[in-house]
């Protein structure tokens, strides 16, 4: 038996949801650059789940289905209030709340195509409601009920702040959602597929995936990028800070990627959004500092920014609290998780690899008094 640490380079399944070929990311064949510049997030979700873009009527009815399903059971919100609110990270709260949603869905364990479709709609529609409700509850505010006449992106920002966003914020947030929606067999998606390949249910698959996304080597990096930027504080401090960290072999969050060696195609979009948004807020230092760090890490280590690097200053500029960055990643990526879960169900086989044993040879059993 041979092993590959971290399963690097191992092709573990076939999939038609998204591809990374020669550094180009596509969702079902559509280049991420085209989608980022043109698509609404709802269109992208439809594409991921149905393997084609919707026509106008289909998109309107899909948007309505999502909007109508956005309210979560009151009991789930009430239970959230009993979490140890001040000490709980919103990603941990989201993981628990999604698991909780499953308890209140009587069709959670139904496996028909229609039941799975209904669960997909609910999960996609309700994650934003959970994330924003948690954020408000911990700030001592009442959750804001979703509106049915707003886009998915606008509704998130509305439920977070209680105010409808301006067009620039809505467009930027929509683009960020599009860019994060799917990414082939990343760690959280693989987790979701492993979970449901046992024929467990969709809520379990998404709960497991949230747990995997939470880690700093995956989705948790974006919050830590902002922590680093805040610690650096000013552009002039970037060089000594980064060089010192690299000398101490500390990983710089938001850099490097298992699959892309010549750059993450999503990063350039987020970089430009960061430039524009920091210009609007007047806090250009976050962008300037990010560009400086980018230059240093590229020169010193040959590592390029991934999706998490510039998304940090983008979300900060939209006025979003830093520990909500990773939950927002989940609000988008749940679309990809669901697409992969549905694909796994269509042609399922238990995922059960082997391990190369490295423990001692056969040992003789000793009764406890002789050990
Ligand atoms: N900063 C400094 N050094 C790094 C970084 C980094 N961000 N990333 C990789 N390296 C170094 C490692 O220390 C290692 O060096 P060594 O060979 O001298 O020990 C070498 O590059 C290879 O790194 P691995 O961690 O083995 O690479 P792997 O493919 O396993 O990891 C990963 C990819 C996890 C993304 C890594 O680059 C990393 O930890 N980056 C920082 C966290 C991050 O930004 N995660 C988000 C990724 S994108 C996403 O999941 C949404």
What CATH number has the domain bearing residue 236?
A: 1.10.230.10
CATH number of the domain residue 80 falls in: 1.10.580.10
Contact yes or no for 336/45 (Cβ under 8 A):
no
- The domain boundary residue, chosen from 296, 317, 338: 317
Whether 28 is catalytic: no
6 Cβ below 6 A of ligand 1: yes
Residues whose CB falls within 8 Å of the CB of residue 129, separated by 6 or more in sequence, listed in order:
70, 71, 72, 143, 146, 159
| Residue whose C-alpha is closest to residue 258's, from 71, 10, 90 | 10
Residues 163, 25, single domain; the answer is yes
Rg (CA), the chain: 21
Residue 308 annotated among the catalytic residues of the structure = yes
Residue 357 within any structural domain of the chain: no
pLDDT digit string, tens, across residues 202-219: 999 999 999 999 999 999
Question: Averaged over 34-42, what is the pLDDT?
Answer: 98
Q: 153 and 208 share a domain?
A: yes
With a 6 A CB cut-off, is 307 part of the ligand 1 pocket?
A: yes
Q: Please tell me the distance between residue 255's alpha carbon and the centre of ligand 1 in angstroms.
A: 7
| pTM more than 0.85 | yes
Whole-number Cα distances in Å, 148 to 54, 125, 201, 357? 20, 11, 28, 55
9, 226, 251, 337, best to mutate for ligand 1 pocket (most atoms within 8 Å of CB): 251
Index of the ligand 1 atom closest to the CA of residue 186 = 50
Kindly state whether residue 368 falls inside one of the protein's structural domains. Answer: no
Tell me which residue has its CA closest to atom 39 in ligand 1.
Answer: 217
Going by alpha carbons, the residue nearest to atom 37 of ligand 1 is 256
- Whose C-alpha lies nearest to ligand 1, atom 18? 249
pLDDT surpassing 80 at residue 41: yes
Q: Total domain count for the chain?
A: 2
**Catalytic residue among 182, 201, 294, 308, which?**
308
Domain shared by 75 and 191, yes or no: yes
Q: Residue 225: pLDDT above 80?
A: yes
The answer, yes or no, to whether any atom of ligand 1 lies below 6 A from the CB of 275, is no
Could you tell me if 196 and 344 are in contact, meaning their C-beta atoms sit under 8 angstroms apart? yes
The per-residue pLDDT for 190 is: 98
Query: Would 52 be classed as within a structural domain?
Result: yes
Together in a domain, 207 and 258: no
Task: Kindly state whether residues 167 and 286 are assigned to the same domain.
Answer: no
Whether residue 108 is found in the same domain as residue 159: yes
Give, as one character, the DSSP assignment of residue 255: B
Model confidence at 261, pLDDT cuts 50, 70, 90, reads confident
Predicted local distance difference test score (pLDDT) of residue 331: 98
Ligand 1 neighbourhood includes 306 CB (under 6 angstroms): yes
Give the closest residue to 212 by CA, choosing from 231, 234, 195, 197. Answer: 195
Could you report the per-residue pLDDT of 134-165, keeping only the tens digit for each? 999 999 999 999 999 999 999 999 999 999 99
Identify the pLDDT of residue 1.
72
Report if residue 65 sits inside a domain.
yes
Location of structure tokens 């987790």: 191
Domain contains 43: yes
Q: Are residues 180 and 118 in the same domain?
A: yes
Q: Does residue 127 share a domain with residue 63?
A: yes
Measured distance CA(19)–CA(185) in Å, rounded: 9
Q: What is the pLDDT of residue 86?
A: 85
**Is residue 10 a part of any domain in this protein?**
no
Supply the range of the domain harboring residue 122. 16-214+324-346
Are residue 287 and residue 340 in the same domain, yes or no? no
237 SS3 class: helix
Domain boundary among 317, 334, 361: 317
Name the band, by pLDDT with cuts 50, 70 and 90, for residue 262. very high
Are residue 206 and residue 240 in the same domain, yes or no?
no
Does the residue 123 lie in any domain? yes
Q: Identify whether residues 153 and 28 lie together within a single domain.
A: yes
The tokens describing 277, both together, are 């948004």
Q: Mapping DSSP to helix (H, G, I), strand (E, B) and coil, where does residue 251 land?
A: coil
- Closest residue CA from atom 27 of ligand 1: 258
Please compute the mean of the pLDDT values over residues 31-52 and round it to a whole number: 98
Q: Are residues 127 and 172 in the same domain?
A: yes
**How far is the C-alpha of 254 from the C-alpha of 280, rounded, in Å?**
23
Of 33, 89, 109, 257, the catalytic one is 257
CA of 243 to the centre of ligand 1 (A): 16
Q: Is 361 among the domain residues?
A: no
Catalogue the long-range contacts made by 257-263 (C-beta closer than 8 Å, 24 or more residues apart). 257/304, 257/306, 258/6, 258/8, 259/20, 259/184, 260/20, 260/23, 260/304, 260/306, 261/23, 262/23, 262/304, 263/23, 263/304, 263/305
């Amino acid at each position: 038996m041979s092993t590959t640490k971290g399963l690097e380079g191992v092709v573990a399944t076939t999939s038609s949801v998204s591809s990374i070929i020669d550094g180009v990311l596509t969702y079902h064949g559509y280049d991420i650059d085209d989608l980022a510049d043109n698509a609404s997030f709802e269109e992208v979700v439809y594409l991921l789940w149905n393997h084609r873009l919707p026509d106008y009527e289909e998109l309107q009815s899909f948007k309505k289905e999502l909007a109508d399903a956005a309210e979560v059971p009151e009991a789930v919100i009430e239970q959230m209030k009993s979490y140890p609110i001040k000490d709980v990270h919103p990603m941990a709260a989201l993981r628990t709340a999604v698991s909780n949603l499953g308890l209140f869905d009587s069709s959670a364990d139904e496996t028909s195509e229609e039941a799975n479709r209904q669960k997909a709609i609910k999960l996609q529609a309700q994650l934003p409601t959970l994330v924003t409700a948690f954020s408000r509850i911990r700030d001592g505010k009442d959750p804001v009920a979703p509106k049915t006449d707003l886009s998915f992106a606008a509704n998130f920002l509305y439920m977070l702040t209680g105010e409808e966003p301006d067009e620039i914020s809505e467009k930027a947030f929509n683009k960020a959602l599009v860019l994060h929606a799917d990414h082939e067999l990343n760690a959280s998606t693989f987790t979701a597929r492993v979970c449901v390949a046992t024929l467990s249910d969709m809520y379990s698959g998404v709960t497991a995936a949230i747990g995997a996304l939470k880690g700093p080597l995956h989705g948790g990096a974006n919050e830590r990028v902002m922590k680093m930027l805040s610690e650096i504080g000013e552009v002039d401090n970037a060089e000594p800070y980064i060089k010192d960290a690299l000398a101490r072999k500390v990983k710089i969050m938001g850099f490097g990627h298992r699959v892309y060696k010549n750059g993450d195609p999503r990063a350039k979009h987020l970089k430009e959004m960061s430039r524009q948004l920091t210009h609007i807020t007047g806090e250009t230092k976050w962008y300037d500092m990010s560009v400086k760090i980018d230059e240093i890490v590229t020169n010193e280590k040959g590592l390029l920014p991934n999706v998490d690097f510039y998304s940090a200053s983008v979300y900060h500029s939209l006025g979003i609290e830093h520990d909500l960055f990773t939950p927002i990643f989940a609000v988008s990526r749940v679309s990809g998780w669901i697409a992969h879960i549905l694909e796994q169900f269509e042609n399922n086989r238990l995922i059960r690899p082997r391990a190369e044993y490295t423990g001692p040879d056969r040992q003789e059993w000793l009764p406890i008094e002789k050990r």
